[in-house]
Structure 1
Amino acid sequence: KRILKYGGCSPCCVFVALIFLQRLKTRLGANVSLTSTNFQRLFLIATMTAAKFLDDFYYSNTSWAEIGSLKLKELNKLELEFLFLMQFDLHVYRFEYDNFVASLNLEARSEDFQKSDNDESSLVCKVPSYCDVTSAVTAF
């Protein structure tokens, strides 16, 4: 939550960061297991990288280190490792982004439907807001 609250990046950076993490998991396959500790660091680095790649204005590494409660030296090392693991492949095609956001929207709708306890008035699906999608992302 700190990353989302204090990161100061555009909403699309969050989605692109998750796309980066999905790519990384695909590249590393079974060699990566996500824990609450390494997911936070990976999400921090992925979000920082997405902000640098997409946004005109973004925070310095010093600020990101503070947000993630890391030492600057460790953050810089993690950033470099992340870029090499990603093979510097940071471009996200529009169709890839749209498909990813659509899948998150479906997930958010599914969670909304399950929470409704099959109340008939809730059978009409609402289009999820940014907050709905963000909560689905944080659950990811």
Structure 2
Amino acid sequence: MSNPNRLPESYYACDTAYLIHMIADMLITLTQHNDQIPINSTNLTRFHSRAAPSISIPDYLRRIVRYASVERACLLAVLVYIDRICEAHPTFTISSLTVHRFIATAITVAAKAICDSYCTNSHYARVGGIQTAELNTLELEFLFLVDWHVACPAETLQGYYHNLVHQHVAYELAEAPSPPPAGTMPDTLPDPEHAPDDPEAALAAAVAAEAVALEIPEVVNFQLDAPPPGLSDPSSSSGTG
């Protein structure tokens, strides 16, 4: 067996690909366990599909991260929200029939709650393979399930990140580097002559250029199936924009 990959101590320094791998494996384990639970009127939700979507959980996460510029904090927040909702609603389960809609909705909510910038619901819906009206309805349902407790402090996210790494056989945390001796200075300092006049404008321009370069594929061949019979059509309900 190969040695585990050593990951940085802080989640915000972790490569997104590794983070997706660990979260996807966690969700796969969870769905495989919960798929054994029979569906009935007490645990049927708006997040249920009639059949499991053909796209895998890792591919679905990678797609959303790529086309919606999802931050690492939002990925970890998905796990935080699962625990909060399942604690408040014991019959709620993350299964192969609910996980895709839950991911899309949780990332939409997390981006608005903890990020400085985020996409529109229509963009998240297009990337996630559902209708905008349905995402609006799922978002409101999600907020009620989590009792509007959507904030995720950095300490909480850091704890979830550490647990992910400790529970995964392919990874381990690297030892934190020793702090430099007091009074030392770095070998090099930023050159003020090459610094942008307006750093915020430069960052905004870079983000805009990346958004143009990442064109979302027009054909989404994994459109999430309609909810099971017995639930009202989300497209007939109003929601957030």
* 1:15 corresponding residue in structure 2: 76
TM-score, L = length of structure 2: 0.44
Is the 1:61–1:75 contact (alpha carbons within 8 Å) kept by the matching residues of 2? yes
Specify the structure having the higher radius of gyration (Cα).
2
* 1:112 corresponding residue in structure 2: 170
Which 5+ residue runs of structure 2 have no aligned equivalent? 1-59, 175-241
**Sequence identity (%):** 26
Deviation at 1:126, TM superposition (A): 5.8
Could you tell me how far apart the structure 2 residues matched to 1:56 and 1:96 are? 19
> Judging changes above 3 Å, is the alpha-carbon distance between structure 1 residues 126 and 32 closer, same or farther for their aligned structure 2 residues?
closer
* 2:110 corresponding residue in structure 1: 50
Deviation at 1:50, TM superposition (A): 0.6
TM-score, L = length of structure 1: 0.73
* 1:85 corresponding residue in structure 2: 145
Runs ≥4 residues deviating over 6 A: none
Residue 64 of structure 2 is aligned to residue 6 of structure 1: no
Residue 136 of structure 2 is aligned to residue 63 of structure 1: no
> Judging changes above 3 Å, is the alpha-carbon distance between structure 1 residues 74 and 5 closer, same or farther for their aligned structure 2 residues?
same
Could you tell me how far apart the structure 1 residues matched to 2:68 and 2:165 are? 23
SS class of match (1:36): coil
Residue 159 of structure 2 is aligned to residue 99 of structure 1: yes
> Judging changes above 3 Å, is the alpha-carbon distance between structure 1 residues 50 and 126 closer, same or farther for their aligned structure 2 residues?
closer
Could you tell me how far apart the structure 2 residues matched to 1:21 and 1:126 are? 24
Which 5+ residue runs of structure 1 have no aligned equivalent? 114-124, 128-140
Greater relative CO, 1 or 2 (CA 8 Å, sep 6+)? 2
Q: After superposition, where does 1:29-48 map in structure 2 within 5 Å?
A: 29=90, 31-48=91-108
